Structure 1
């Protein structure tokens, strides 16, 4: 669990009026019991979780904390115990422990760092940096338990400097990170190399990324914004191949002080830009994004690389806010360097609309279309193996809501249909064609003076495949009652009966649960929850087995 968001500090002049020390937040403990019959257990029979998000306030200095502890951290495969804090005073923020920060979309973008950092935001100027460990060394695969793939400990530093406000600004950011080749023993690396292919060997890498982000708002409602990144990535620190003489000596010498340059060093770029108009919910924006093949930043977990897209994004509000529309229309393609055998081109279209006929009655509409067509690239390929697909989805959700002093009613109907069709010659991919239909009708009744709520939902799901049809249909019921002058004691019941279809065979799916909670004063909440799920096929087969699962939870929350 990552650290909680930063809380703002208060002015030094107000210190005499502040309490010297206060604590807010909550601490929660849960014990979970589990049992399965007829199938392999999906979790441990007993587990516990202790979590909390307290915030210390010392004369207006806010120090938010967060933590999660469980019995699973005794094993390697679940290193979730993390702590962090970000005390803030005026325009100064300190970071310590596990922190998750974003400086730009192409440099430090949501990566968790275990370390220390500083943020300064005096007026329109801003400056920040953080240094520490991006990931720790692992010597076993957490899934298979084998020695491959392992990973090195990775450390780095990131920073940004900028000027401006939310409407118009210019930011420069960077990331410099490298793997510690000594963090995994030589014996482990040698053992892993025996079972690894040459092209999948784990090698210590280095990375330097520079990013530039900016936004300009003008004429009140017009804007232009852009982000760019340039990544220099060395895939093997120990490579003996010499880097080609492609850079001027001055540039090579300067860059060589930041990163090891050798034959495994490559440079990648990524950028995106948008321009548009926005006023009172009406607007039009044009977006362009290009990420070169292989683009990486050690300050981000994942990039969809080798992609280029151009998108038109309209939005408007009509009929005195009763009609709201948002859409997206664009084209996308890969194979930017023309090195693949085929180039995939996609047509992308989506739209959502909300119509409020009255204060109580309305409908939500949605549509999306994704068409893919592959064209010959560097190598001519037979049409038999080309991919051409169209995926469409349509959703309609009318709703009715009434909230009175005594009674409340909510009716919601949702219909969602999606299809995938192979448009290519030969039809080899038509085994993957499918049509799915999801529908549910929900009614909820609330008796306001008695704090009583009851609801019923009818579900229908059907998935049509070339191999056969799957789906289920049935009824789910819920009831919730609060007791006491303030509703401190609460009881909830739920039950379901479904008729399922799997691999052409039918079965009954039964479920039920009970949840009880009690709030004792301002600080203490006790709760318990038990649930049961069972699958009972009409005719049991190896693919469709009879089984049941039971789960119980006892929890306590202390609110500060």
Structure 2
């Protein structure tokens, strides 16, 4: 009896819940239809963007290989249809055609990036970034996809050509290359307290894409697979732990034999090994602690010697970093301070003749003393140590009489210091007159010490100071800017100075400031014990907007330079004129 009552009660509850759900769905469907009709009544199609065309004319009485005429055509078009958007951008120029040699990348580019809600695609010439150790900003021609739905899983995919095939035409400047294709995927699982990610990137050259192998220039057909895992975890609401591990397997020559091949590392397990395969790893990890008025963090990073992938233009490798960083705000947020200090070393596998380590430190301060006065200052110090690894057998086998001769440096230290101070003060600010003064000073110093001794030419010091004064007349639509620059250099036991003033006047004309003009001149003198150089520049500029979204630009620069140095062309006359048109809609 009780069982029947429970069943009936359960069925009744289920019926009531189903009815409530149906009513809620019916209301939601009604609202959905109403929202859809309201959306359809809106203007479904939107278009915006801009195009620009610039031409550069250049002439000089001294040949320097620069083209007399260069054009640049750039544009971006944003198409929208309801919740769809499709940006289109392009860049066209004749700059690459004037090189006289071939390169494996493109100067003319076009890219389409359609997007719908959380779906975004890349079509044409594009670049994407997965992580610093895998695929990092490399331009490719193909397609990419990013999926960022309102669920923890996020996906990024790419496929395309990384290099086009370039034959070795005998020109020493030509950069031959095999056709290279690349494929990558980045999967992320993101929750409120933690994030984990997996990255895979694969690239391979087409051995048959060239009629002749350019081995003489060190260009070999390669293959690469890199795998990475990333993660960050919030142990506490103010304490975060993060890290990344990457492993790359690189086949330096696909034509190499398989004799002596070894599969070392995770990535190598998925490739066909040969004798040219190499395997490297890179990883980092750290902790960030958020405070009430700042943060403190520590990070460790290690990159194996020789580490690289085919998914980036350049890699720093053979280094180990330990960095401590912090930032704080004080004085009711008027003063912002940030600092970091770290230790870096190389020769991680003890294969180099020398080992280098250095301390790296930097401090930055920004002070808003008042509404008119702003002061910023920074200091950085890079101290590098090098210890030479002596071969003891050379000492033993040498003639004992030679032991007393001067040895190579076994203790080398290089100290680089950079200091910068900037002061900005608003003298006055009114409708009639605006005055502002800016003072900047910087010092760069580098000292080389061998066994505690600074030898001749081991000290370099650069002082630079400039003062800028701006006077504006808002009602007259005119501004006057003046500056004085001074640089003192001491390098290789030689002293030189560069100094000179500059003046620029800008003024707007016509109704609604449709025409804006500028005229300026600058002079600088460079003097040393070996030569004196005088440079004079004259500048003219104009921007004209006859209609609301159209503008024409003109920039003209004439430079005169003369020197008392014994050179083939002591007097240089150089002219650069740029004419441009811009349209935005």
TM-score under structure 2 normalisation?
0.85
Partner residue, 1:213: 230
- Which residue number corresponds to residue 512 of structure 1? 538
Are the structure 2 counterparts of residues 430 and 530 from structure 1 closer, same or farther at C-alpha, using a change threshold of 3 Å? same
Indicate the SS of the match to 1:486. helix
What residue number does 1:4 align with? none
Aligned length: 532
- In 2, Cα distance between the equivalents of 1:255 and 1:208? 8
Please list the CA deviations of residues 286-337 of structure 1 after superposition, one character each: whole Å capped at 9, or x if unmatched. 0111110111111111110000010110111111112111111111000000
Establish whether residue 362 from structure 1 lines up as the match of residue 362 from structure 2.
Answer: no
SS at match of 1:471: strand
Deviates more, 1:277-286 or 1:392-401: 277-286
Counterpart for residue 402 of structure 2: none
Which of 162, 175, 195 aligns to 2:188? It is 162
Query: What is the distance in 2 between the residues matched to 1:147 and 1:406?
Result: 58
Match of 1:120 in 2: 147
Q: Counterpart in 2 of 1:334?
A: 346
Contact 1:421 1:430 in 2 (8 A): no
Check whether the contact 1:338–1:378 (CA below 8 A) recurs between aligned residues: no
Structure 1 residue 17: Cα displacement? 4.3
Distance 1:56 1:466, change over 3 A: same
Q: Distance in 2 between matches of 1:531 and 1:356?
A: 37
Does residue 554 (structure 1) correspond to residue 579 (structure 2)? The answer is: yes
Q: Is the 8 A contact 1:292 1:305 kept in 2?
A: yes
Distance 1:454 1:283 in 2: 43
Q: 2:3 maps to which residue? A: none
Q: Return the alpha-carbon distance in structure 1 between the equivalents of residues 363 and 37 of structure 2.
A: 51
1:49 aligned partner: 72
1:473 maps onto 2:499 in alignment: yes
Determine helix, strand or coil for the equivalent of 2:257: coil
1:165 Cα offset (Å)? 5.5
Distance in 2 (alpha carbons) for counterparts of 1:14 and 1:136: 49
**Structure with greater contact order relative to length (CA < 8 Å, sep ≥ 6):** 1
| Matches of 2:261 and 2:93, distance apart in 1 | 51
Q: Which runs of 5+ in 2 are unaligned?
A: 1-34, 395-406
Change (3 A) 1:227 1:403: farther
2:414 aligned residue: 389
Using the TM superposition, give the Cα deviation of residue 385 of structure 1 relative to its aligned residue in structure 2, in angstroms.
6.1
In structure 2, distance between residues paired with 1:218 and 1:409: 52
2:162 counterpart of 1:134: yes
Give yes or no for the alignment of 1:230 onto 2:247: yes
Deviation readout 1:58-90 (Å, 9 max, x if unpaired): 333111121111223435557310111111101
SS at match of 2:95: helix
CA apart distance, 1:375: 1.7
Classify 1:255/1:420 alpha carbon distance in 2 versus 1 (closer, same or farther; 3 Å). Answer: closer
**Alpha carbons 1:132, 1:156 under 8 Å: kept:** yes
Partner Cα distance (1:88, 1:241) in 2: 46
Aligned-pair Cα RMSD in Å: 2.5
What displacement does 1:436 show?
Answer: 0.5
CA contact (8 A) 1:229 1:270 kept: yes
Task: Give the corresponding residue for 2:4.
Answer: none
3-state DSSP of counterpart to 1:336: coil
Aligned equivalents of 2:535, 2:56: Cα separation in 1? 23
- Show CA shifts across 1:98-123 (max 9, x none): 11101122111111121112221111
- For residues 57 and 48 of structure 1, do their structure 2 counterparts lie closer, same or farther at Cα, with a shift above 3 Å needed? same
- Tell me if 1:72 matches 2:95: yes
Instruction: Answer yes or no: is 1:171 the counterpart of 2:197.
Output: yes
The alpha carbon displacement at 1:247 in A equals 6.0
SS at match of 2:475: coil
Q: Distance in 2 between matches of 1:264 and 1:203?
A: 11
Structure 1 residue aligned with 2:328, among 316, 330, 339?
316
Query: Distance between the aligned counterparts of 2:197 and 2:189, measured in 1?
Result: 7
- Say which one has the larger Rg: 2
CA distance in 2, matches of 1:443, 1:550: 28
Q: Which one of 204, 207, 210 corresponds to residue 181 of structure 1?
A: 207
Q: For the Cα contact (< 8 Å) 2:262–2:275, is it kept in 1?
A: no
Q: Verify: 1:99 aligned to 2:123, yes or no.
A: no
Greater alpha carbon shift after TM alignment, 427-436 vs 41-50: 427-436
Report the Cα offset of residue 241 of structure 1.
3.8
The alignment's TM-score, normalised by the length of structure 1, stands at 0.89
